Amino acid sequence: MAEPARPTRGYSVRTLPGFAIVALFTFVALYAPIAILVVFSFNAGTSLAIWEGFSLRWYVQAAQNEQVLDAGLRSLYLAGFSASIATVAATMAALATTRTRRFPGRTMIYALINQPLMVPEIVTAVALLIVFAAVKVWTGHTSMIYLIAAHTAFCVPFAYLPIRARLETMDNTLEVAARDLYAPPWKVFTRVTLPLMWPGIIAGLMLAFVISMDDVVITEFVKSAGQDTLPTYMLGQLRRVVTPEINAISTVILVVGAILVSLFFALTMRRR
Amino acid sequence: MTDAISEAPRALEREAEKNDIRTRWLLATPAIVIIFLFATAPLFVMVVYSFLAPGDYGNVKWEFSLDGWTNVLVQRDIFDDTLMWADAHLSIFWRSLSLSVITTFLTLVFGVPTAWFIATQPPGRREVWLFLITVPFWTNLLVRTIAIQELIRAEGVINNTLLFVGLINAPIQMMFTDFAIAFGMTYVYLPLMVLPVYAAVEKLDFRLVEAAHDLYAGRWVAFRRVILPLIKPGIIAGSILVFIPSLGAYVTPRVLGGGKNLMFGNLIELQFGAGRNWPLGAALSLMLMAAVMVSLIYYVRVTSREQSDG
Amino acid sequence: MPRPEDCCLSRAPSCKLIEKPSVMQDTGMQQETGNMDSTETSRPSAGDTAIDVVRVSKIFPGDPEVRALDDVSVAIRRNEFFTLLGPSGCGKTTLLRLIAGFEPPSMGSLRLRDKDISRLPPNRRPINTVFQNYALFPHMSVAQNIAFGLEMLGKPRDEIAATVDEMLKLVQMEALKNRRTSEISGGQQQRVALARALAPHPEVLLLDEPLSALDLKLRKEMQIELKRLQNETGITFIFVTHDQEEALTMSDRVAVMSAGKILQIGAPREIYEAPAERFVANFIGESNFLDAELAGDTVRLKAGGSFRVAVPDGVAAGPVSVLLRPEHASVRIGEPGPEELPVQIENVVYSGDATVAHLRLSTGEAVKARMPNAPGVAPLSSGAKGAAMGIAPGGITVLKD
């Protein structure tokens, strides 16, 4: 019996020997630790490495832990506020800096917007600690305003990125066409520019939200007593005996993050 | 009725341009103000603090002092008051630098093939792979560090498995070592290498590679002489993106390196905590910032030189 | 319901969306005249003028600065199909953008029916544009796109709906009313762009190379379609193209532009048959340029033969350059007669409907002759010596430069 013709593996210039194996190993290595972390969040025992049966006890324990709930809510509240303010500011800045010739000060605006990305987080954190410590002593005021201000500042460049990208791929003539069809500038913005840049704005908002939710360093240095967010709470707990409760909290954070990132991905890829 | 012809030449254009620039500045104002107040200005305040004297219980005394800067390299012996090199600081600088270089190298080793692999997938699947690399990128850094920690702990999965298989008799000490830090940083910063390299490979015109093969180049020669020069900007961008956060890393070394294996970021933190030497902390922060700036400028110069050669 | 043919055409009073005085009476005449050749190029009186471009310059800053328009003046008549023709970078699109109001002029002024509009923003000019890439709003349906301008003018809802339907009918797109603009073909997008620009019934419609993205067959169809729309609506069309054939087929008048200047304005036939300058002759159609000597109303070619010509203003007796269109030249084997020139046939190219012979005159000048093919006639053979070139009566045009 003749064998059916097998597909030929021809010579392809796109193949480089060994690259695929390294790549697949990388993907496995990237996900394995996270997978193990998630698996042991369901462990019935207290071990992080020996499986003792399935249980939701650590989720229950986390859900009943006042400190966790408090920190979680604070994280959401902080990220929601900061990301929203940052996105509005970033949207305006993106409108100001894209689709134009070089104008006096444009480079400076660019540099300033991206400045938080250029400086190591620990440096910004320490600098804010110095300033806010003085302000806190001076005013005696220790509300969340410091955290919101700090988070807003480092969220702006992240919100700015996808919005700017969106604007740059947008067809300039659409707005010109709207003007040509008797739309005054404000109507051009609400009827054409805004609807078209909307996916970019949402993407920017989600990115900023995720970045704010994830932040440890700046929060750790800026927070006043009793202002733990979920990440700083977890960082504090790591010094103690670690139980799968940390895994349960981590898993929740992972799931929320993954959902946001998937949405972000869907929004930024759709225009292709 | 006005007649533009009677006006100065280009009056309309100047007016339109002036209005345009004014609008743009107004739009940029909120972002500028927020970032200036809560990111840029504090850096200047920190410069001032680095020239003040440390307070007894943290913070500063408002008197001029260069101790913050001199303490970076030398310290006064508590017993006989002689000056000596701050060996601890030097070894921390060295550790930060070498671990960052090692991390960058490791992300290159794993990141470039991965980026290549993703970029050469057929379009439909490519997006899936890209998505898989992007998810960890935006996943909580602390969570990912915790995942590594749980993996390499003395009673972690790796040691348990090795013990179970019988390859080792006692757990290997991986936590709180330089290895742990490099391993963890490679893990958390890898996507930062893959994404820009991917972008470069995706832009690569494969007809050029075909041309190289057509002109008798083998795979390796084509890679070295054609592909590598073309994707070099992506590789350089990826290296910067990994090197810079590695140099300033704080969370990963804190969780995986512990109290002994400090990196630059942890040394800075120490001055604001137990060390109670804010001016020194400020000076160290400014040094770290300068190091980051220097590496940025260095890479920018390398890239622009590459471009002018090509 | 009004009958469809009453609808939306400019004369139906219900459809006058922009307040305009009754200037449409001459539309009928326009239709009758159609593409008739008018050699009259003198400046029309102000009452006739739709757009008056007065000494407009446009300078783009840079190093070096670019003078995209250099002291351009042109009066475009009402209800005219006016074409700006020229190679890329000649300033034709810049002039269009200035008229639309997308950019201010550096110098000079623009008038619409005797009113200075130089300072008006585009949304306050009763002028609409069909963009080269159509610029259809991707987040709106076909109907929403067409309704946009009317909404912005604050028209009542039912009037908008009626006009949109009329427009859809006018461009034969009724069936695709609710489609997204990304779901329709290039030719259909083109129609929607036209309908959208026509819906507010502007006084002037600007078309920026709208046919360049279409394939040849569709382009030919759209050329006829555009001419029909212009006749039916009676709107002044200003059309920008680099395609000379397109310009000649559709326009009432053509302005040939080069390097920011208008070189010649005239009816298509005038532009083709009596180009004022070598650039115009060269850009439109194929050309042979020959050296000659002008004396009185007679030119004597260097290669031999004398021809009576119409002498354009400003050309003095002496050495001149003359134009001979390839289709006005012919060649046959044999001894040259009294009106003919001796030539050598260098190459013969068969191109279906015609044969093109590459000839060389006794002076060494190269000439192309294009002769229609007749059935069953043997083609010329190249390399044959002793051939004679004939020139059709009136085939020689004296050029200014």
Task: State the complex-level ipTM.
Answer: 0.88
**Is C4-273 a CATH 3.20.20.210 domain?**
no
**Is A66-269 a CATH 1.10.3720.10 domain?**
yes
For strand C329-333 and strand C366-372, is the pairing parallel, antiparallel, or unpaired?
unpaired
Weakly modelled stretches of chain C, pLDDT under 70: 1-47, 377-379, 381-385
**Is B87-309 a CATH 1.20.1250.20 domain?**
no
Residue ranges of A 141-200 with Cβ closer than 8 A to chain C: 171, 173-174, 176-184, 187, 191-192, 195-196
How far apart (Å, rounded) are the C-alpha atoms in residues C121 and C131?
Answer: 17
CB of A16 within 8 A of CB of B221? no
The domain limits of chain C are 4-273, 286-398
Beta carbons of B10 and C108 less than 8 Å apart = no
Beta carbons of B4 and C55 less than 8 Å apart = no
**How buried is A31 (Cβ within 10 angstroms: 0-12 exposed, 13-18 middle, 19+ buried)?**
middle
Chain B nearest-CA distance from C106, in A, is 4
Beta carbons of B9 and C104 less than 8 Å apart = no
Contacts of residue B42, defined as CB under 8 A and 6 or more positions apart, other chains included, come to A124, A127, A128, A130, A131
Task: Give all chains having 3 or more CB-to-CB distances under 8 Å with chain C.
Answer: A, B
User: Residue C181 to residues A169, A187, A192, C146, C190: CA-CA distances in angstroms?
Assistant: 18, 21, 14, 11, 10
Radius of gyration of chain B (CA): 26
Say whether pTM exceeds 0.90.
Answer: no
pLDDT at C14: 37
Indicate the pLDDT class of residue B190, thresholds 50, 70 and 90.
very high
pLDDT surpasses 70 at B141: yes
Q: What is the pLDDT of residues B191-250, one digit of tens each?
A: 999 998 998 898 888 888 888 888 888 888 888 888 888 898 889 889 988 998 999 999
Mean pLDDT within B266-286:
91
pLDDT at A195: 93
pLDDT at C33: 38
pLDDT at B295: 81
> B9 touching C, CB under 8 A?
yes
Q: Which residues of C touch A194 (CB under 8 A)?
A: none
pLDDT at C382: 64
The domain limits of chain A are 17-55, 66-269
Q: What is the pLDDT of residues C109-132, one digit of tens each?
A: 999 988 899 888 999 999 999 999
pLDDT surpasses 50 at B2: no
**Is C286-398 a CATH 1.20.1540.10 domain?**
no
pLDDT at A204: 93
pLDDT at C379: 66
How far apart (Å, rounded) are the C-alpha atoms in residues A46 and B155?
Answer: 12
pLDDT at B77: 66
Beta carbons of A85 and B255 less than 8 Å apart = no
What's the DSSP call for residue A142?
-
Beta carbons of A181 and C137 less than 8 Å apart = no
A22, A97, A130 member nearest B113 (Cβ) = A22
The domain limits of chain B are 4-83, 87-309
Chain A nearest-CA distance from C137, in A, is 6
pLDDT at B305: 58
List the single best residue of B1, B12, B21 to mutate versus C (max C Cβ within 10 A): B12
> B206 touching A, CB under 8 A?
yes
Beta carbons of A183 and C123 less than 8 Å apart = yes
Beta carbons of C129 and A174 less than 8 Å apart = no
3-state SS, residue C355? strand
pLDDT surpasses 50 at A163: yes
